[in-house]
Structures are given as C-alpha cells and as structure tokens.
C-alpha cells in the first residue's frame, strides 16, 4: 500500500477545523479517554498483518472497520510491514520524519526513539483515571516514558522469559511435573534424569546461532543477577564471574552430564520441534512458544508447562522482557494523536475487543486462549482481563500458574542497547561452549566484551 501523504492529512485536518468536534465511542465500562478536536481526521498506522497471514490480516481489517464505524469521521490507513520494526528501515524513516502517524517499535528501541526528538509526548492527551493505562505493569510502561516522566507511547504486547518444560517427560523420569526446578543446579539434576530415559531424549537444550544464542545468554545472565551492560549502557558488563557461571553451567550439562545432546547450533524451530516430539525436557522460552509446539509440532497443551526462570539459589532475580509499543510521530496534529491513542487502546488495551476478542480467537481455533502472556496489566485491570478471557479458555491454565506467580514479583529487564548486534557477538561464545569441549570461557568472554564495547561506542557515537 502506498504511504499516506502527511501533507494530505494536514490539509484534511485544516479543512475540518471549522467542523464541530465529536466524541470518540468507547467500549462498555470505560470512561471516554479522548475526544477528537476535529470531525474528520486520518491517521496512518503500521504493523498490519501481511497477506501471508490471512486470518490475522482479516481480523485486523475487520477491527479497523469496526473502529471507524464506532468513530465516524476517523479514517485509519494501515500499512503492512514485516517485521514491524525493521532495523533497516525503522531508523532512517524516523530520522527523515517519515514514520506513520502511529508506529510500532520494539521495547528495546523506544528509549532511543524518544531521545531522537521524533516522537510526540502524549501525556496531556490522556486522562488521569484511565485504568487501561494506569494498571499497565510499570516495567513495561516505563519503556515508553521519557526522562521527564511523561508518556510517549502505548505498549501493545509484552513477553518475559521462563523455563518451558515437558510435563510428560518429567513424569516418565520420576520427577514431579508440578514442581519444576527453581535453580540452575536443579535444572542440571533434572536434565540428567530426563536424558537417562534414552531414545534420543535431551534433558535441556539451548540456542547458539542466528543471534538467538546471545539472546539466551542475556536471559540467563539476568537470571543470575547480572546485566549485559553497565548502568549507562555504554560498556559490556558480562565479562565477569556471573558470565562465566552461565557458561560453565552449560559446559557441564553438555560435556560432563551429556544431557544436552550432540546436535548443537540450534535455533527456535529446532527446540520447538524437539519439544513437540517429546524429545526435549526443558529450555528457556517465552509462553508464545507453546502454541507452535502444539499446533505445528503435534504435542498437547496438557503436556507443556512453564515456570519461573531458574536462578542461582532460587527463582531468578530478574528475567528478560520484550515486546512492542506504538509511538506517535512528533509532527502529528492533536487530533491525530487523539485518534491514534483511541485506536491503539481499542486494538490492544481493551479486553474483549480488537486483538483481545477472545470469543473470535476461540471460534477461529487458530490461537489458544489462556496463555499467561501477553498480559500487560496488574491490579484491577488484570482482573478485568482475566474475567474477559475466562469464558473462552482453551488451555489448562494451571500449567502456567508458577510462571504467572513469579512474573508478578520478578524484576523484568529490557534487552541491551543494539541488542541484535550484541547477540550476534555472544552467539560465538554460546556455540563455542556447546561445540568445543576445551573452549576457553574466560578468553571467549574477554574477546566478546571487547567487540561489544566497540559496538556500543559506535552505537552511542
């Protein structure tokens, strides 16, 4: 779809300025969050699902139509783009002022985008009593706050990492599927018992290619209480005892216990397929892996559980979080900002509506209802979300209770700056440990830290 012209939009808004204002429609049970300052306003929004995903795309287009019907005079022109935050186009578009009026960004990128001066402060357009925003998890909402505390965007989805495990294999290995390990020592012990089942079964597996090894190294370092970079983000902070401990644990499972199998350089589809075939006991993952394990690789929701990320002496001190948010172009008119806020609230932040239409999701049988994430809320709004979801549950939610309990108290940390480049560097460390029995962990971390320091120097300029 051809990009909508901002000039045309501004002309439309100017022409509409003489028309009496209208109030946006709202979902039942919520106070109206915004009102339009003009009757006719057009906004561009990206991240429309591609034609290769026909059902999500059809849902999106229907949501747009429903929103426009409920809000006469508001036109939503959506653009498909995959990935929605494409590193090759996101930053050039932002610098040139060519982003959509309302545009998607990974939570990793929001702070740098805000600092660029190209993102609008939307705080004054939001009421102080909107529960959909006030109850968003602080760890998520802070990713779209500026240094002044004002709000520059609205989160649309989140994920945090936990320990995904095969309940069937736990039972077969004589382990309690309701009591998965809470420490890395426990993971090692249970992995040995699961791999002892034989028949090619692997007790624990991890990624070590395509930037995914570095991503998991980061999550596992967080679980030990470490950080990838210093507080100012400008220097590597993993070349230390905690970083060594993460890698030594993997080395011991791989080479001492032989509980990680011989096939390495694994990526996401590899582990999902292994878990789907009941050939894998445990791995670090977010809940969004579960539908693929069941729907693509033929396992059962009853067989899959997820719990807190393990730590050194108990559940992890912190976990890696990610997700996305919608930001607002600094050139937007007030009416465009108001319309964008209302659309994002409808599509992502109103349980029972838009992408959170659980009745539609269950009827389509394309996605499960009952995963612990995305769930952006705490407090009262979390209860609203759970109540809206409950009549349409398709999964055994008791299998996720340990994860949900941990996520309510565990610190969630965002990915490091220039995350994908850093992950690429750490891939070599993860692959080194898992493919070379005599790999020198201390030297590997030292070399990786030197490379990452150069990346960060270039990144921050």
pLDDT digits (tens, 9 = 90+) for 50-97: 888 888 999 999 999 999 999 999 999 999 987 888 878 899 999 999
The structure's pTM equals 0.81
Residue 36 has pLDDT above 50, yes or no: no
Using alpha carbons, list the distances in angstroms from residue 399 to 163, 178, 180, 202, 428: 12, 8, 11, 21, 34
**What pLDDT sits at residue 221?**
98
- Identify the residue whose tokens are 């440990």: 433
**What pLDDT sits at residue 231?**
92
**Beta strands 411-413; 202-204: pairing state:** unpaired
Highest-pLDDT range among 35-44, 134-143, 408-417: 134-143
**What pLDDT sits at residue 405?**
87
Mean pLDDT of 273-284: 98
Identical topology for domains 6-151+323-348 and 162-317+414-460: yes
Residue 20 has pLDDT above 80, yes or no: no
Per-residue confidence band for 460, with pLDDT thresholds at 50, 70 and 90: confident
Residue 316 has pLDDT above 70, yes or no: yes
Q: Look at residues 244, 241, 235 and name the one whose alpha carbon lies nearest to residue 449.
A: 235
| Residue extents of the structural domains in the chain | 6-151+323-348, 162-317+414-460
Residue 4 has pLDDT above 80, yes or no: no
Token duo for residue 235: 């220097």
Please provide the average confidence, as pLDDT, over all residues in the chain: 89
More confident residue, 420 or 196: 196
- Identify the residue whose tokens are 């719990």: 307
How many other β-carbons are positioned within 10 Å of the β-carbon of residue 291? Answer: 18
Task: Quote the percentage of the chain above a pLDDT of 90.
Answer: 73
**What pLDDT sits at residue 7?**
27
The third-level CATH classification (topology) of the domain covering 162-317+414-460 is D-Maltodextrin-Binding Protein; domain 2 (3.40.190)
> 6-151+323-348, superfamily in CATH?
Periplasmic binding protein-like II (3.40.190.10)
**What pLDDT sits at residue 22?**
34
Residue 25 has pLDDT above 50, yes or no: no
């Amino acid at each position: 779809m051809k990009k909508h012209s901002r000039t045309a939009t501004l002309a439309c808004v100017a022409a509409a300025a003489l028309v009496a204002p209208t109030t946006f429609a709202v979902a039942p049970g919520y106070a109206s969050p915004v009102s339009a300052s003009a009757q006719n306003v057009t906004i561009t929004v990206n991240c429309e699902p591609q034609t290769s995903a026909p059902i999500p795309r059809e849902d999106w287009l229907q949501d747009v139509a429903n929103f426009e019907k409920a809000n006469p005079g508001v036109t939503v022109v959506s653009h498909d783009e995959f990935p929605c935050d494409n590193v090759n186009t996101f930053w050039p578009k932002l610098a040139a002022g060519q982003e959509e009026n309302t545009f998607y960004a990974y939570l990793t990128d929001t702070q740098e985008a805000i600092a660029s001066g190209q993102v609008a402060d939307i705080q004054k357009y939001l009421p102080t009593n909107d529960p959909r925003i006030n109850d968003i998890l602080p760890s998520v909402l802070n990713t779209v706050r500026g240094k002044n505390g004002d709000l520059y965007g609205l989160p649309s989805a989140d994920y945090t990492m936990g320990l995904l495990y095969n309940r069937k294999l736990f039972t077969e290995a004589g382990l309690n599927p309701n009591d998965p390990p809470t420490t890395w020592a426990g993971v090692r012990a249970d992995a040995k018992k699961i791999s002892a089942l034989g028949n090619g079964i692997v007790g624990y597996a991890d990624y070590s290619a395509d930037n995914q090894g570095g991503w998991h190294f980061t999550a596992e370092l967080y679980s030990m209480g470490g950080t990838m970079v210093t507080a100012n983000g400008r220097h590597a902070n993993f070349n230390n005892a905690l970083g060594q401990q993460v890698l030594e644990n993997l080395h011991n499972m791989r080479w001492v216990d032989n509980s990680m199998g011989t096939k390495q350089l694994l990526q996401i589809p590899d582990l999902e397929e292994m878990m789907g075939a009941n050939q894998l006991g445990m791995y670090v993952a977010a809940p969004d892996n579960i539908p693929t394990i069941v729907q693509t690789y033929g396992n059962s929701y009853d067989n899959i559980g997820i719990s807190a990320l393990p730590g050194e002496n108990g559940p992890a001190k912190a976990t890696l979080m990610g997700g996305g948010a919608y930001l607002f172009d600094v050139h937007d008119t007030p009416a465009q900002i108001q319309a964008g806020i209302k659309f994002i609230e409808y599509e992502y932040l109103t349980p029972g509506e838009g992408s959170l239409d659980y009745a539609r999701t269950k009827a389509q049988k394309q996605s499960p209802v009952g995963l612990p994430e995305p769930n952006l809320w705490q407090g009262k709004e979390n209860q609203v979300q759970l109540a809206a979801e409950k009549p349409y549950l398709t999964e055994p939610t008791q299998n996720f209770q340990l994860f949900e309990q941990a996520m309510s108290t565990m610190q969630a940390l965002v990915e490091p700056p220039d995350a994908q480049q850093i992950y690429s560097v750490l891939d070599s460390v993860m692959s080194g440990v898992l493919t070379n029995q005599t790999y020198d962990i201390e030297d590997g971390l030292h070399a990786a830290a030197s490379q990452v320091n150069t990346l960060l120097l270039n990144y921050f300029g």
